[in-house]
Amino acid sequence: MKPINIYALTRLDEPRMQMKLERQMSGRKHYLKIKEWEIQDLKAFCTKLEGVSDRVYEMEFFYSFVMQKLGKEFDLLRVNAEYVVNVELKSQDVPDEVVQKQLLQNRHYLGTLGRTIYSYTFVSGQDRLVRLSNSGRLVETHWEELAEVLHRQTDCYESDIEELFKEDKYLISPLTDPGRFLRQEYFLTSQQKDIKKHILKKIKQADRGEGQLCVQGFTGLPGTGKTILLYDIAMQLSWREKVCILHFGSWVKELEQLDERLKRIDFYDRSMLEEWRSAGRYAVICVDEGHRIDEVTLQEIMERAAAWNAPVIFSYDREDAISPQERLQDGARMIEAIPGYVAYQLTNRIRVNSELSAFIGCVMCKKNGNHRREYPSVSLVYANDSAEAGRFLHNYEAEGYVYIQDAVEVARKEFDRVVMRIDVTFRYEETGYLRSEGEAVRNLFHGMSRAKKNVALVVQENEKVFETILEILQNEKGRL
């Protein structure tokens, strides 16, 4: 999406023509539905600015830009190398606290650009222009000041604004970048915020003695943002309560860093349960990687939660894409069988694009019917022996791919590119599911799901599986 000449857009009165011109100027893939009051606000803004500037007709703004993954919208944005100008348009009288909250929120989101931010709101119904001060207060201002700021803003960004808001700037994992997590340099999607709101509400109700022991949790495919949501909730609860997080993945150095720096929360992995038992009472118990939990440990957690009257929050993966026989420890089923358990579902894949998501689903079960026409982000090669496979893997690593051998070791981490090996033990059953020995299929599923942009597979000495995956890539299901 590119910036548009808002003055030119407001010269038209017919809604259909406005939509066509806006799409032509911005390069959107779809028509923007512009409501009548929105175009009137835009006209009023141009008229007021025209009274103090003779350059309004040449000014371009990003109009009605939405950060898709977060659902955050900005009315007008103008960006150059030094600073960002954000103007929000209102028709009717709006309480100052609402205006202030929106501008503060906008400043927080725009902060990922690392530039000075000038924030304004124009309320056309009141003929009022306000700005957000450096200290976060609303200040009455005048149009000459806004015009001066805009005149100083030269060499403005004219390319696709999506490029300025790459996901890795605001969608992070606490275990990938604990420093940014601790500085709260991250955002939650609207779906994550909604689930968080419901969970905190039920915990408050439990604190007032309304109902039984509060046991909640959320699940979703890898890449839906479960860990950041769980840790964010734990952070908020830890301001007033003693909180622990039981992590059933591997203990990584990033988790140790969080444990050292975030004193309000105690972190334990599966090898530290004895320490957890002797640590005393916790007001809230959070469980990460719950799909890896065993029945005995789950029972102990619930017994202690009942004794402490402590709410429990679970985060776990759904492994529905994997053959039921491959789910060695079906933690998800055991969690969801807890009496009174309240479940939430994360459906928006934040870090895994739809192409890779579809491909992974097809590899796990060739009969899932989710075939696409093409997979440009997937690479596939065949090796006749381990030496050839090693050479291919080395080559991929030289190109920036991360070779994942044990997905547990990289649980809750994400990488731009991932390469994995499929050996002779893999096979497809009549049901269509991919099978292997031990936890190899689960490892493949979770490993590929760590990729944000590209996946490469090295198939070694297994022509049948190679042929099936090649058919998936070429959309040749059932034709060879």
CB 365 within 8 A of CB 430: no
Q: What percent of the chain has pLDDT over 70?
A: 92
CB 279 within 8 A of CB 293: no
Average pLDDT score over residue span 388-408: 93
- Range picked from 215-224, 397-406, 445-454 for highest mean pLDDT: 397-406
Give the pLDDT confidence score for residue 370 in this predicted structure. 54
Considering only residues 398 and 329, tell me which one the structure prediction assigns the higher pLDDT.
398
Give the pLDDT confidence score for residue 271 in this predicted structure. 85
Q: Is the pLDDT of residue 220 over 90?
A: no
Phi, psi (rounded to 5 degrees) for 353: -70, 165
Model confidence pLDDT, tens digit, residues 99-139: 999 999 899 889 888 899 999 999 998 999 999 999 999 99
Model confidence pLDDT, tens digit, residues 69-78: 777 899 999 9
CB 356 within 8 A of CB 378: yes
DSSP state of 168: G
CB 226 within 8 A of CB 414: no
Give the pLDDT confidence score for residue 442 in this predicted structure. 87
Burial class of residue 466, CB neighbours in 10 A (0-12, 13-18, 19+): buried
Mean pLDDT taken over the chain: 88
Confidence of residue 329 (pLDDT cuts 50, 70, 90): low
Instruction: Count other C-beta atoms under 10 Å from residue 323's C-beta.
Output: 19
Model confidence pLDDT, tens digit, residues 10-26: 998 898 899 999 999 99
Confidence of residue 251 (pLDDT cuts 50, 70, 90): low
Q: Is 475 helix (H, G, I), strand (E, B) or coil?
A: coil
Half-sphere exposure of 323 (CA within 13 A, CB side): 25
Give the pLDDT confidence score for residue 256 in this predicted structure. 78
DSSP state of 262: -
Give the pLDDT confidence score for residue 181 in this predicted structure. 84
Give the pLDDT confidence score for residue 191 in this predicted structure. 86
Average pLDDT score over residue span 341-358: 78
CB 265 within 8 A of CB 238: yes
Give the pLDDT confidence score for residue 235 in this predicted structure. 92
Give the pLDDT confidence score for residue 327 in this predicted structure. 62
Burial class of residue 100, CB neighbours in 10 A (0-12, 13-18, 19+): middle
Quick one: tokens of 239? 């301001």
Pairing mode, if any, of strands 265-269 and 243-247? parallel
Instruction: Count other C-beta atoms under 10 Å from residue 226's C-beta.
Output: 28
Residue where the block lists tokens 């991932």: 418
In this predicted structure, which of 32-41, 180-189, 235-244, 338-347 has the lowest mean pLDDT?
A: 180-189
Average pLDDT score over residue span 283-300: 92
Report the C-alpha gap between 19 and 32 in whole angstroms.
6
Give the pLDDT confidence score for residue 470 in this predicted structure. 92
Output the furthest CA–CA distance in the chain (Å, rounded): 76
Considering only residues 453 and 302, tell me which one the structure prediction assigns the higher pLDDT.
302
Report the C-alpha gap between 52 and 65 in whole angstroms.
26
CB 477 within 8 A of CB 366: yes
Give the pLDDT confidence score for residue 479 in this predicted structure. 41
Q: Is the pLDDT of residue 175 over 90?
A: no
Give the pLDDT confidence score for residue 221 in this predicted structure. 77
Which of 461, 465, 468, 470 has the alpha carbon at shortest distance from 392? 461
DSSP state of 278: T
Average pLDDT score over residue span 295-319: 92
DSSP state of 170: T
DSSP state of 399: T
Pairing mode, if any, of strands 434-435 and 427-428? antiparallel
What one-letter code names the amino acid at 149? V
Measured CA distances, 256 to 262, 265, 280 (Å): 10, 12, 20
In what side-by-side order are the strands of the sheet with 4-5?
4-5, 60-67, 72-79, 83-90, 116-123, 128-132, 138-140
Average pLDDT score over residue span 50-69: 90
Quick one: tokens of 192? 């994550």
Which of 59, 78, 53, 66 has the alpha carbon at shortest distance from 10? 59
CB 121 within 8 A of CB 95: no
Average pLDDT score over residue span 207-226: 82
Q: Is the pLDDT of residue 28 over 60?
A: yes
